[in-house]
Structure formats: C-alpha cells, structure tokens
Structure 1
Amino acid sequence: MKKRLLKPLLLMMMIAIFSLNVTGAAFAKSGGSKNPPKNGIDIATAVSMIVKGLDLNLNTIDFIKMPVASDHYTKVKDNAPYAKDFIYAYYNGVQLPKDINPSATISKEYFAELLYQAMSHKGDFVWIETFQKVADGNQIKKEYMNSIQKLMLAKIVTLDSKQKFYPKNSISRDEAANMISKTVKFINNYKPVPTPAPIEVTLTTGKETDAVTKVTLSATVPTGGYGLEITSIQFTKDQALIKYKLVKPAPDSMNAQVITEIKAVTYIPSTFKPVLQANK
C-alpha cells in the first residue's frame, strides 16, 4: 500500500517543482529588474509591464541611429534587461526624469501617473469633467491627481471602502497587472464621444435709462468652467459691434457635469443698435 501511494506523491511533487520553474522563467522574460524589492515592484519592472502590456513600440518611428537608454537616462545601463523598455516608454509619451532610479520601489500614485501617460499616447480620449473625492487625496502629489481622477473615471483605479487610495504605498505586481489589464480593456472598448453641438451665444437688451441700453450676452454650456467675455465694442454709424470670446475650461480642470448658463453684460448709448461679433 505504501509503495502505491508513494509514486503519485512523487509525481505531484515533480509537477509542483516544474510549475515553479516555469513561473520563474516567465517572470525573467517579462523584463524588469532581476532583483525586485521584497515589497512591491521597482520602477524598472513597472516600466516593462506598462510597455509590454500596452504594446508600446517604435514601429511608426524611423531612426537614423537607433537610440540607447543612456541617450536619455543617466542611471539606466544600455545592457540592462529593461533598457529597451525605457526607450520605448520615452518615445511613447511616458515622461521619466533623466536621473530616474530603475531599482527604486514605485508608489501607487507614480505607477498610476506613468500608466495614464502611456494610455494617453494610445488614443485621443474624451473625459467627463468631474471630480471624485478621495479621502486621502491630500497625500496625493498635485501633479498626479488629474491622472488618478481620469483612471477612476475609466474604472482602472478603485478606492477601498473608506474611499482611500493609499498613494504612497508600494504597488504589488498583481495590482499593477490588474490595472494594466483594465487599461487595455478600456482602450479596446473605447468609443469616441460625439462632437458636441456648437455653443450659441445670444444677445438681449433692456432699457437702463433713456440714454443707455443694457446689453446681456448669454450662453448655455455643458459644464462649469466656461466663461464669456466681451472683448471690445466698436461703434460704426448706428451700430455697436460687440465682440465676445467664449472661454473654455482649462484642460486639466475638474468641473461639475451640469448644464450652466453664463452671462456677460455691457452698456451702450441707446442711439446704437447692438450687433454680436465673435472674435476670430
């Protein structure tokens, strides 16, 4: 009986050992660092995962001389296993400091920033202008908040039950792989948002005094953050040519997705007829 049980047990042990060897080999082929930190992953591994996961390449670029890592980074050796991934990252919108330390452990917020940069290079995505509260948002670097907000909108980044992100924590390989997988899915399933209709500016008048007319310009806009400015008034014959400018929200601003009416007011002599004239 013991001999009969022994053979299956040995077979299972051999399968387990073989599986471990295969897993180790797969990790080695994935790029990144040979000696990753015990807690989380280092920047080299993060860059390699993002480059391979999002298929960043140089297929559309013709070089007279192929670049090497030392052309752009002082601490990335040209013969490092991840050197090419840093080159691919550089030419695909991932902005890494020249003195980046590839062996440093990467934080969740910095990984999110690099992932968003790479993702943005893969397509021209349109985002809803909204802001989600993060309980520990005061710990997030200001320059990373926009990227994290966009990744939350795309359901790539999620908060815990306490609405916390833990930006300074290191990120594990599994967490990083999960975010990359969600990013690839988002890119593949993305449908461009239809171009919104032009915003129409209208003019109304009211009697201020017998000699003065109040002129109000107004427009209905899809989100907060817009502005309406009267830039000049030119009087010609019996007309007052009122030039205006529609100010769009700043590219990185977060505004409520609420239909809003904006206005601008000016005054002209009542002997003139107001005429709208948009700035060109």
Structure 2
Amino acid sequence: MKARNLLALPIVAMLTLSFGQSSFAASTPFTDLNQVAAKDKIIALQEKGYVHGVDGNRYMPEAIMTAAQGIQLIVNTLNLQADPEKAGGPAPQVDPDEWYADVVQIAIQNGLELPADFDPDKAWTREEFIHQLMIAMELQHHLPMIKIAPVEFADMSELTVEYQGAIQRAIVLGIVELDADRKLHPKEEMTRADAAELIYHALEYLQAHQGPIKETPKP
C-alpha cells in the first residue's frame, strides 16, 4: 500500500531533482531502497546531485507525487526558466502565495497546458506525469516530432485519449518501459521511485540526443 500520509512532508524535502545543480556524492546512502527495482538509477541520480532524500538516510520511494510536486519536478529537472514575454496558454487559478505558484507560471510560459481546474493536491497518475514530461522535453529541447507505429501493450485501452501520442513517443524513445506483462499501468498514482526512473531515462535520452546548435545568420 502506498503511504499517502507522506504527502504531508515538506515540499523542499519531497522534490529536489534539479537539472542545474552541482554534482556531489552523498555521505550516507539511502537505506530504504533495498526492495526498489529502480534502486541503482535513484542512487546514480543522487550521486550526480539530481536527487536528494527526505533526510540523510531515506528516499521514501513509495511516497505519492501530487500535481504541484510533479510540475515542480519537471520545471526543475529540465531547467525551465521564467520568461514574462512568453504569454503561454491560459493559466489555472492558483493562490499567488502558494509555494507552487511560480513553477505553475513557468510551466505555462514554457508551453505546458494545465487544466483550468488544476488541483495542486491531486495525486498524479503515471500517464499524467509521462505526458507532461514528454511535452516539456519536446518543447524545451526541440525534439523532432517523429512518425511512429503505435506500440501495442496490454492496458493501452486505459489511456486517456489526449495522452496517447506523448506516451507512445515516450515508449518508442525508451524513456518509458513496459513491465513484464507489457503493461504501462497508466492510471496508477505516481511515486517518487517511478518519477526518478522516468527522469533518469529522460536525462539519459537528452544526453545521447542533443540537438544541433542553431547557427546565427550572418548579416
């Protein structure tokens, strides 16, 4: 059973994946990853400074990720920057005094589309996180919009229609892996372990497929 009460943990402790942070090696390894399939990936991210625990010894891999936490994770990991000149789409109504107000605005300015009834405390599902992560990657890093043959998997009928394209691309690019039964589990709530594994694959892909530098036209 996933520990829902972990949602009450401070946000700074819950999410600290950052694309631009300095690399460092943790002095104390996490002690709660022994039964976690993504253990090596979480440790690799930690050693590079992308992941921190809720304290020196615990990562709490089964803690559930909320929508606000997911947006913060994507904004920080992909190093999305505030740009007031980018109008973006319509922004959901959020309390400007809340900790997530700035990252929501940054997400909108960088092309992410959030629902008008955006609920920051809603537990994000795997399909919601994958969709938003892929859209942010494609916009920020100008990934090519490839034409693909849809991948068949056991629970694809459970996908929300508007998420199908991004999720299919994530599978083809190797950012998302199906389980042994060829299932994605799109409606399952996203955990910190799930998020770390997806972020690991996303960063790995971006590192291996950096786009060409655009030349500045000569006068």
TM-score by length of 1: 0.51
Q: Give the match for residue 105 of structure 1.
A: 123
Q: Go from structure 1 to structure 2 and tell me whether the alpha carbon gap of 1:157 and 1:105 turns closer, same or farther (over 3 Å shift).
A: same
Answering whether residue 152 of structure 2 is matched by residue 133 of structure 1, we say yes
Q: What is the aligned partner in structure 2 of residue 27 from structure 1?
A: 13
The aligned residue for residue 220 of structure 1 is none
Contact 1:51 / 1:89 at 8 angstroms: preserved in 2? yes
- Between 1 and 2, higher relative CO (CA 8 Å, sep ≥ 6) is seen in 2
- Quick one: structure 1 residues 55 and 166, their matched pair in 2 at CA, closer, same or farther if it must change by over 3 Å? same
Q: 1:43 to 1:29 in 2, by over 3 A?
A: closer
2:71 maps to: 47
CA–CA distance in structure 1, aligned partners of residues 136 and 205 of structure 2: 13
The answer to whether the 8 A contact 1:95-1:117 is kept is no
**112, 123, 133: which one aligns with 1:115:** 133
Partner of 1:145: 164
**2:204 is equivalent to residue 185 of structure 1:** yes
Note if contact 1:54-1:180 (Cα within 8 Å) is conserved in structure 2.
Answer: no
- In structure 2, C-alpha distance between the alignment counterparts of 1:182 and 1:192, rounded to whole Å: 17
Report how far residue 141 of structure 1 moved.
1.0
Q: Please give the alpha-carbon distance, in whole angstroms, between the structure 1 residues aligned to 2:211 and 2:15.
A: 35
- Alpha-carbon deviations, 1:141-173, whole Å to 9, x = none? 111111111111121111101100111110101
1:170 aligns with 2:194: no
Q: Which residue of 1 aligns with 2:96?
A: 78
Change (3 A) 1:158 1:25: closer
Question: Given the two structures, how large is their TM-score scaled by the length of structure 2?
Answer: 0.64
Aligned equivalents of 1:93 and 1:134: distance in 2? 29
Shift of 1:27: 1.0
1:180-232 deviation per Cα after TM superposition (whole angstroms, max 9, x unaligned): 22212212221559xxxxxxxxxxxxxxxxxxxxxxxxxxxxxxxxxxxxxxx
Question: Conserved in 1, the CA contact under 8 Å of 2:125 and 2:186?
Answer: yes
- More displaced 10-residue stretch of structure 1: 175-184 or 102-111: 175-184
CA deviations over 1:216-265 (Å, ceiling 9, x no partner):
xxxxxxxxxxxxxxxxxxxxxxxxxxxxxxxxxxxxxxxxxxxxxxxxxx
Based on CA coordinates, which of the two structures has the bigger radius of gyration?
Answer: 1
- The alpha-carbon deviation at position 52 of structure 1 amounts to 0.4
Residue 24 to residue 40, structure 1, CA distance change in 2 (3 Å)? closer
* Contact 1:108 1:168 survives alignment (8 Å): yes
Unaligned runs of 5+ in 1: 1-22, 32-37, 194-280
Retained in 2: the 8 A contact 1:49–1:177?
A: no
Aligned length: 157
User: Which residue identity is paired with 1:52?
Assistant: N
Indicate how the Cα distance of structure 1 residues 62 and 96 shifts in structure 2: closer, same or farther if over 3 A, else same: closer
Higher strand share: 1
Mapped to 1, the partners of 2:15 and 2:182 lie a distance apart of 36
- Label 1:29 to 1:104 Cα distance change in 2 as closer, same or farther (>3 A): closer
CA contact (8 A) 2:15 2:69 kept: no
Aligned-partner residue type, residue 153 of structure 1: V
